[in-house]
Each structure stands twice: as structure tokens, then as C-alpha cells.
Amino acid sequence: MIEVLRTGALNTVQDLGRYGCLGWGVGTSGAMDNLALSAGNILLGNAPGCAALEVQVFPLRLRFLADCDFALTGADADAQLDDLPLLPWASHSARAGQVLRLGLPDVAALYRSRAYLCLPGGVDVPMVLNSRSTQLRGAFGGLAGRALKTGDVLRAAQARCDGAALALLPPELALPLHCEGSPAVRVLPAAEYDCYTAASQASLWQSEWTITPQSDRYGFRLTGQALQPKVPLEMRSHGIVPGVIQVPPDGQPIVQMRDAQPTGGYPKIGTVIEADLWRLGQMPIGSRIRFLETGWDEALHAQAQLQGWLADVQGQVQLQQGRRGRA
């Protein structure tokens, strides 16, 4: 059991998302950095999709009420267990009474803004409509359908893990993606791409986009050179997914993120591919990013690369479990 001593607003329990409920208007939710969540779970010997705490507002202080293993991935938030600094992207053990503190992430260093605290067996909250992710709009899932607050108690499904004492090379370093010095994400053109002026299509790919403060788990509102359709577009509402880049009439794009609505009606100029959505999910407000045009086969290859990276992490953990078994 873990007591929340201090938390910012909007830190939530997330897993890899809620699937199968779009037809009821329920979006997927899920970790903004699904790669970090999966890796943290694998470090503990959990299934990759176990529920974890997503920390996006710092500082956070937690007290372990019983001995408990845990893993930290995602943003390097200057974590300390009592006075002991902790390695990021690693698994650790706490004794009853110890206090875990996450400070402010060094966002400039690696463009990371969200940390994940994984627990053995996952955070023990009820499964609602096939997922433990917090559905903020519907006020269900996660911890009572809301963000964490001071005084809450989190439970791990198990006290001990079957993982490995390992530290990982963060995927930002293992799988970097930049364009002319700026962090980049790959984009597949979407239905209305051809409806935009040639100048707007060019600036989508060739100019920098800044993530504005009006950005959250629902969507990242970007600012840059306004994107202009050749003629004004009024769409019928249709299904959308996280990653879709909508363009409202003011021309400033909005990238749908994990809490995105499952439908929308603004024109879509492109979609950030699923394989790069974790990168965007880690980019802090104020970041300047670039979009790289990609194709179907390249996007599938990027997805396979991520699966390969996770398989490699799984392999490292199993190797150490094997060594421990022989010792």
C-alpha cells in the first residue's frame, strides 16, 4: 500500500488503453508514453499492459506503507527514495515507511515530461469496461474515475515482483528521431491533406510547430504558420484516433492525444503514426517539433522497431532472471 503525501493535479492511473468501447463513445485513454509504461512493467516481470501511475505534474511524494518493489520509467524526475537518488529507467525496492519523491524533470535534456511508476502486478484498481485506464471525461476507470489527490492510497496487485534489477537505455537514446536539430514525429497524410494549399502542405513538413500551454492528455494544440484549406471545409462527424492532426478554422493544428474523443469533425491533414505517439507524449509544453512525411510501409516498420525494442528489454530481464535462478 502506498499513501499519496503530495501530488499535482492530473496524475492518473493508466494502462495501455480501453479497447472495444468506441461504439459507445468511449475513447481509448491509456499512457501518453506507452513504451515507458510497457518497459517499466517488463522490468518488474509484469505483463506489459499492467496499470501504472502516470505522473505529469510534479513534485510527487509517496510513502510506502509496506515493503514494495517498483520501477520508474519515462521522465527522469530526479527521483529519491528517502535521501537516496534513484536511477531512472530501473526497478527498485522500498521498505515500509520509505518516502519516494519525484522532483521536476529535466525537460530540456531529453524532451521528457511524463514519468511512470510501475508496481508488481500493476496498480490494483478495478477493471472497468475492459481497462484500468482513467476515463476523465466519463469519470470512470483508474482510481475512482479521477486524478490522484493527496491522501489517496494506491495498492500494488502483488508485494514482490519476479523482475530483474536492471537499468535500461531510454528509448529516446536507443531510437532517436530528429529533423534539423528538432525532435520529430512521422506523419501519414489523412483524408483532407489534398484540400490544403501547396504552401500549407509545405509548411506542415518544413516549419517548426510549438506545443502551446493549451495542451493536455486530450490534445496538443500547436502554433505555427496557419494551415489554409483551398476552400472552407465543413465535415460530417467521423471516427478519429490518437495521433490525428485536426485543423480548426483558425489554421492552428491540434494533435489528438490519448484522451482524445473517439469522433471529430474538423478536417484532418495527417496522423502522427502510432509508433511515434510516445515521443510526442513526452514532449513538454513549449517544445518545437517537426513533422516528417511517411508512408504505410515505413510506418509499419517503425511499429516493428518498437516491438523489437520491447522484445529486447524482455530478453534482458529474462537473462537476469535465469542467472538469479542458477545462483
Partner 1 sequence: MARTRDALPPMTALEDAAPVFSLLGTTAALLEAPGPAMDLPRQQRIWALAQLARHWPEVQEAVPGMNNLMLTFKQAPRDIDSLRERLVLAWAEVTPLPLQGRVIELPVVYGGEGGPHMADVVAHTGLGVDDIVALHSAPLYPVYALGSHPGYCYLGGMDPRIATPRRQAPVLRIPGGSVSIGGFQTGVSASPGPSGWNTIGSTQMCFFDPTQAMPALLQPGDSIRFRVEKVIR
| List 242, 258, 309, 310, residue binding partner 1 (CB under 8 A) | 242
Distant-in-sequence, close-in-space partners of 51: CB < 8 Å, separation ≥ 6: 13, 14, 15, 122, 123, 125, 132, 133, 142
Grid cell 529535466 in the structure block, residue = 106
Work out whether 248 is an interface residue with partner 1 (CB under 8 A).
Answer: yes
CA distances from 277 to 33, 133, 269, 280 (A): 7, 17, 16, 5
| List 149, 262, 288, 316, residue binding partner 1 (CB under 8 A) | 262
- Select the span of 77-85, 97-105, 205-213, 228-236 touching partner 1 (CB under 8 A): 228-236
Comparison of 207 and 237: residue with beta carbon closer to partner 1? 237
Report the nearest approach of partner 1 to the CB of residue 260 (Å).
Answer: 10
Report the nearest approach of partner 1 to the CB of residue 189 (Å).
Answer: 4
Work out whether 182 is an interface residue with partner 1 (CB under 8 A).
Answer: no
Sign of CA dihedral 101, 106, 107, 111: negative
Site string for partner 1, 115-154 (x = CB under 8 A): -------------xx-----x-xxxxx-------------
Site string for partner 1, 51-90 (x = CB under 8 A): ----------------------------------------
Return the closest-CA partner of residue 14 out of 45, 56, 68: 56
The SS3 of residue 262 is coil
End-to-end, the C-alpha distance of the chain in Å comes to 31
Report the nearest approach of partner 1 to the CB of residue 18 (Å).
Answer: 10
Work out whether 250 is an interface residue with partner 1 (CB under 8 A).
Answer: yes
By residue count, the chain amounts to 327
Distant-in-sequence, close-in-space partners of 188: CB < 8 Å, separation ≥ 6: 270, 271, 273, 294, 295, 296, 299
Query: Are 44 and 89 spatial neighbours (Cβ–Cβ below 8 Å)?
Result: no
Work out whether 265 is an interface residue with partner 1 (CB under 8 A).
Answer: yes
Where do contacts with partner 1 occur on this chain (CB under 8 A)?
A: 19-27, 128-129, 135, 137-141, 188-191, 193-194, 214, 218, 232, 234-244, 248-250, 252, 261-266, 268, 271-275, 295-297, 299-300, 303
